[in-house]
Chains A and B, each alone.
Chain A
Amino acid sequence: MRELNAVGAIAARDLLKFTRDPGRLVAAVVFPFVMISMLGGTLQLNLGKSAGINFIAFTFTGFLGMTLFQSTAQGLTSLMDDRQNDFAQELFISPVSRYSIVLGKILGETMVAVIQVLPMVVLAFVLRVPLTATHVALLVPVALLACFMGGAFGLLLLNTMSDSRASNQIFNFVFLPQYFLAGLIAPINALPWYLALASLISPMRYVIDLVRGVVFSDSSDARLVLATPATNVAVLLLMFAVFMIAGTALFVRRETNR
């Protein structure tokens, strides 16, 4: 019970911080509007018909998966900010398991990420993305898995950073290539062999492909899905386990071994 209480408190802290950050709230509404309606709309008008792809739906699913994954991963780096602001002292002196601290952070950032994508889902209905109630229901566990995966990935990255400035640089280096390798903007059914290899180790690829596997299950765009949902879930669970164990062990070791 002690650990559950602690996980709840740490998670609630992240949610509170999000609701008090007007910049992040505005970005949560504006960003999907800009990316889906403008980017998706442009691709749809220019390439949609000739390629036979619903680019609005393609962009929506891509940005949905990316936001869930990346928002949670970036949220985990707030542990770095905590350390610089010395709030980490308060967390690390408390009689709470380090695993609970990490789990609380991931849960908190998961809640933040899920809230961030709600305007995106509303926008999808407005833009007539073929989204049914069943899709939305299936997307709930998918969203949770995407966030947990992002959290574990963020935790692992955290151990490579020395300060929050370095964290911004690493994020540009790590996430930007994944936008292309994971098929966020353009389909990746065909890639040069070296990019195909790089794509296979991109966690974001499996998140986005899982989202598309659910949303495109009964449409002609299903041909853009790279693997079955079961395969994507299995890969994500495996990656989650490896990243979590390695990330937490490294994080705890680094905190006490300064």
Chain B
Amino acid sequence: MATPAIEVRDLVKRYRKGTTNAVDGISFTVEPGQFFALLGPNGAGKTTTIAILTTTLSPTSGTVRISGHDVVSEASLVRRQVGIIFQNPSLDMNLTGEENVRIHAILYNLYPFRPFYWLMPGAYRRQLRELADVVGLGADVFKPVKRLSGGMQRKLEIIRGLMHHPRVLFLDEPTSGLDTVSRRNLWQYIGELRRRHDITICLTTHQLNEAEKADQVCILDHGHVVAIGAPRDVKTELGHERLVIDANDRAALRRRLVEINVPFSEDGHFVIALDGRTAHEVVRAIDEPLTLLRTESPTLEDAYLRILAAGDA
């Protein structure tokens, strides 16, 4: 069995001046190549968890291993395996975008140190241009960071985070501040990265549609894991598919549904919780001509909201 990309066991973090645990005994495992999404409301402990996983914060107790290396005793080995796109801006405002990227590339030993862009190897310049085009920054990458808008600075951070091809890439709300086109381009590029290099992705986001494609989602609340599993499992655990139908002769349709013993509710249309039945079975038993027929699946957002509401109750 392959060594897990991320292995978290009973992780606890209490900040020095904190009165409660920011992360309170969480455990999860992410297999290599998986797309893992860490979800939760503000203050749930996502960013703290990411900071510990990327060695910038020490855990209070518990063990965390990245590709088999302990984040405390083998921090240096862990840092070589991971990349991160930070939630907060981490750019040097006194430099140009390209200079920020160049420092990153040199710190990760991708290219030798050169004091000027034009002295950098052609491979660096090509990679920079390619990434700048992917996120839609283009030639603006050469502008001083302080002259870039917030969204453009975000794009620059993304370029920087993708320069090296880490085994585990942490994306801490990577698309906040990005427009729709840039967001789509970014996800396409990340998808390509995964296919080409088998990179494990660990995402935190408030955009739940971005987590729909994850192999595994983990929902945190008040420092605890409140749900974990494949998105489909998390969704079906909290709600089933629904069939929505209607007819011109609504009274006849209502009678028929009662006859065939199918529970339903009327919310503008007839809403049937499938609950083990298939839509096909239900429709076959109805003779009345239908004017509306559609199935609805619960979204991850529905499941997420219900889980958090249950936790607060």
Contact = CB atoms under 8 A, between A and B. Distances in A.
Interface in A6-33: 6, 8-10, 12-13, 16-17, 20-21
B57 interface: yes
Q: Is the interface of A mostly helix, strand, loop or mixed?
A: helix
B148 to A, nearest CB: 15
Interface string B70-108: 000001100110101010111111110001001110111
B76 A97 contact: yes
A125 interface: no
Nearest to A6: B107
A95 B80 contact: yes
Contacts of A1: 109
A218 interface: no
A102 to B, nearest CB: 14
B113 interface: yes
Contacts, number: 92
Contact of B90 (A16, A20, A86, A257): A86
Contact of B55 (A12, A86, A91, A93): A93
A86 B86 CA distance: 9
A175 interface: no
A258 B107 contact: no
A228 interface: no
Interface in B221-259: none
A95 B113 contact: no
A87 B55 contact: no
B112 A5 contact: yes
A5 B106 contact: yes
Nearest to B110: A5
Interface in A118-151: none
A171 interface: no
B276 interface: no
A5 B113 contact: yes
A20 B58 contact: no
Contacts of A9: 102-103, 106-107, 113
Contact of A20 (B89, B94, B112): B94
Contacts of A10: 103, 107
B115 interface: yes
B16 interface: yes
Contacts of A255: 56
Contact of A16 (B58, B89, B95, B112): B95
B contact patch SS: loop
Contacts of A89: 56, 84, 86, 88, 90
B95 A12 contact: no
A200 to B, nearest CB: 36
A97 B86 CA distance: 21
A90 B56 contact: no
B109 A2 contact: yes
Contacts of B89: 85-86
B15 interface: yes
B54 interface: yes
Contacts of A6: 106-107, 109, 113
A12 to B, nearest CB: 5
Which one of B79, B90, B108, B160 has the highest number of Cβ atoms from chain A below 10 Å of its Cβ? B90
A172 interface: no
A88 B91 CA distance: 9
A95 B79 contact: yes
Contact of B58 (A85, A91, A256): A256
A91 B109 CA distance: 13
A8 B103 CA distance: 10
B118 to A, nearest CB: 15
A180 B94 CA distance: 35
Interface of B: 15-16, 54-58, 75-76, 79-80, 82, 84, 86, 88-95, 99, 102-104, 106-109, 112-113, 115, 160
Interface of A: 1-2, 4-6, 8-10, 12-13, 16-17, 20-21, 82, 85-97, 255-258
9 contacts: A5-B112, A5-B113, A6-B109, A6-B113, A8-B113, A12-B115, A17-B92, A86-B89, A258-B15
Nearest 4 pairs between A and B by C-beta?
A94-B107, A95-B79, A8-B113, A9-B106
